[in-house]
Amino acid sequence: MYYGGDYNPEQWPEHVWHDDVALMRRARVNLVTLGVFSWSSLRPAPGRWEFGWLDRVLDLLHDNGIQVNLATPTASPPPWFGRLHPDTLTVTADGARLTHGSRDTYCVSAPAYRDASRELASVLAERYGGHPALAMWHVHNEYGTWCHCDHVAGAFRRWLRARHGDLATLNERWTTAFWSQGYSDWEEIQPPRATQWLPNPSQALDFRRFLSDEMLAHFTEQRDLLRPTGRPVTTNFAFGSWVPVDHWKWAREVDLVAVDDYPTGDLAEESAFVADLARSWAGGKPWILMEQAAGVEYTPRRTLPRPPGDLARTTLIHVERGSIGAMFFQWRASRGGAEQWYHGMVPHAGPDTRTFREIAALGETLAALPPRPAPRPEVSVVWDDEAWWALQNRGLPSRDLDYLEAVKQPHRLLHRAGHHVAFVHPEHDLSPYRLVIVPSLLPISDAALANLAARRGAVLMSFFSAVTDEHLRVRLGGRLPAFGITIKEHRPLAEPLTLSDGTEASLWSEEIALEGAEAVVTYPDGSPALTRFGNTWYLSTRLTDKAYECLLTCLLRRSY
Ligand code: GLA
């Protein structure tokens, strides 16, 4: 079991490093993530490399039995780099070129940035690939930077040519006949920069897909330079609505799936959600909790301390679900800089603190933990990053549609009821599960539709699903033969309604024509709200947690 966190010794005088390793040993830390943001320390000026400090840190850690997850520092180019290559600085959707002074200010499509990234990876591989402290490689940090510059425009067009083949197909798939958006030349196509009014939703979705592939290419270029060292290569996934990463695709390319978990609200439920996603993305490969906060909760307005023992509780949620380690951001809280108020395993007040005592106790607990069998979930929930992105488009019939909540609701209810949950891609093998839940899966490919239709076990699909193809073109007619129904109309709700079983429906409703299915629960006007067709169920509205839990219990007990 790996235990440790991001370690940024370049922020501290060397005598502190000796305190660090002594404290790490006390806390049973055995892995640190080193060098995530150390580009300017490694290469302070264009022609100058400074390896001495890193050599000494690696040796010191090794002498103390601590392994290293060595990062390529490409997530934060130094000021000199942006000055030398201004075309590598991020451009926002409204055309502003950002400047250095923060982090993540790069354009993943800029040739100079890509060259520099490859150079950094190969220099590190050559110098440290054989170091005995090296356990794994950590490429970059939390991929997710959007850029809209001309380099991106060129790369986007190349990606679109490969995806759509010719312009006529692209025009058709993007429905560019609407609002006179027809393209007559590839050069006319732009990344979704600021527009006068609603942008084209298919273009917006394709741009996220492109960004995911483009960043993945940046990752695999570095991975392929690092792999010959024989150590696993990973990158830490961030989880947020802005992150254009298709996790299923990326998980195939990393040697080890790594996730960062910064829960808010019900921390145990949130952590279980992220851990179940990570385990599912890994698909049997190892996975690791790469970052979490040491003893605090970051809420939008304030950092809240967590009650004693809470840190161990959420960490064990990950471990129970198969994480091969528990890592934090960061080892020692920074004295200054933009994240000086972010917590550390060693807080500003030092080791004589509740946080450090809890960290050390957790180190003991993890070291003594016997291996646990991997959970074998009987229920799966469909997770599709593309559906999340599609429901973030503007111009939808309701602004209250929330993909994440639609997915989280059944997950948290199953978690509360003590079930383990797997997430699946809609085109994956669904046969291992007794029940497959498909929440608000707006776009669906023909292959995914056929996959669902071929399923013999129970399926519960919820509202605003399977409405469009993968290009966001509506599947006309609204027929869902596998569910024995046709959706005639979508009717978002302004106010909650009471259903025939006395429970409350909110957010959304649909007019459903029964074509073989039976109505199990109805709206006040007697029309179907929840339908059943053999083993397939369709829920056209949002239920309260209590009512949804009751439905899930019945489906799992097969008692309907
Ligand atoms: C992210 C980043 C870290 C740090 C933490 C702060 O997970 O990867 O570099 O910014 O958040 O909690």
Residues 293 and 335 in one domain: yes
Which residue out of 32, 69, 261, 329 has the highest number of ligand 1 atoms within 8 Å of its CB and is therefore the one to mutate? 329
- Per-residue pLDDT tens over the stretch 189-245: 999 999 999 999 999 999 999 999 999 999 999 999 999 999 999 999 999 999 999
Residues 257 and 289 in one domain: yes
Residue located nearest, by CA, to atom 5 of ligand 1: 329
Atom of ligand 1 nearest to the CA of 291: 7
Active-site residue numbers?
A: 142, 291
What is the arithmetic mean of pLDDT over 425-436?
Answer: 97
Residue 269: per-residue pLDDT: 97
CA of 220 to the centre of ligand 1 (A): 22
Asked if residue 165 is part of any domain, the answer here is no
Asked if residue 220 is part of any domain, the answer here is no
Asked if residue 40 is part of any domain, the answer here is yes
Atom of ligand 1 nearest to the CA of 293: 12
Residues 334 and 385 in one domain: no
Q: What is the largest CA-CA distance in the chain?
A: 76
Distances from the Cα of 126 to the Cα of 120, 129, 133, 229, angstroms: 10, 6, 15, 8
Residue 374: per-residue pLDDT: 84
- Per-residue pLDDT tens over the stretch 529-543: 999 999 999 999 999
Asked if residue 202 is part of any domain, the answer here is no
Listed residues 335, 368, 401: the one ending a domain: 368
Asked if residue 182 is part of any domain, the answer here is no
Residues 404 and 549 in one domain: yes
Asked if residue 188 is part of any domain, the answer here is no
- Three-state SS string over 406-465 comes to HHHHHHHHHHHCCCCEEEECCCCCCCCCCEEEECCCCECCHHHHHHHHHCCCEEEEECCC
Residues 396 and 488 in one domain: yes
Phi, psi at residue 72, to the nearest 5°? -90, 130
Residues 492 and 358 in one domain: no
Nearest to 205 by CA among 388, 389, 383: 389
Residues 250 and 284 in one domain: yes
Residue 133: per-residue pLDDT: 98
Asked if residue 304 is part of any domain, the answer here is yes
- Ligand 1 binding site (Cβ under 6 Å of any ligand atom): 141-142, 260, 291, 293, 329, 339, 342
Q: Which residues lie closer than 8 Å to 62 by C-beta, 6 or more apart?
A: 68, 131, 132, 133
Atom of ligand 1 nearest to the CA of 260: 7
Residues 263 and 338 in one domain: yes
Residues 333 and 433 in one domain: no
CA of 253 to the centre of ligand 1 (A): 22
Residues 304 and 448 in one domain: no
Residues 360 and 444 in one domain: no
CA of 180 to the centre of ligand 1 (A): 43
Asked if residue 554 is part of any domain, the answer here is yes
Question: Is the pLDDT confidence value at 51 over 70?
Answer: yes
Residue located nearest, by CA, to atom 10 of ligand 1: 339
Find residue 259's DSSP bridge partners.
237, 289
Which range of residues forms the domain containing residue 31? Answer: 2-147+230-368
- Per-residue pLDDT tens over the stretch 455-500: 999 999 999 999 999 999 999 999 999 999 999 999 999 999 999 9
Which residue out of 141, 274, 328, 340 has the highest number of ligand 1 atoms within 8 Å of its CB and is therefore the one to mutate? 141
Provide the CATH number for the domain around residue 388: 3.40.50.880
Q: Which residues lie closer than 8 Å to 326 by C-beta, 6 or more apart?
A: 1, 2, 3, 289, 292, 315, 318, 319, 362, 366
Provide the CATH number for the domain around residue 276: 3.20.20.80
Tally the domains of the chain: 2
Question: Is the pLDDT confidence value at 373 over 90?
Answer: no
Residues 415 and 284 in one domain: no
Which residue out of 37, 142, 289, 299 has the highest number of ligand 1 atoms within 8 Å of its CB and is therefore the one to mutate? 142
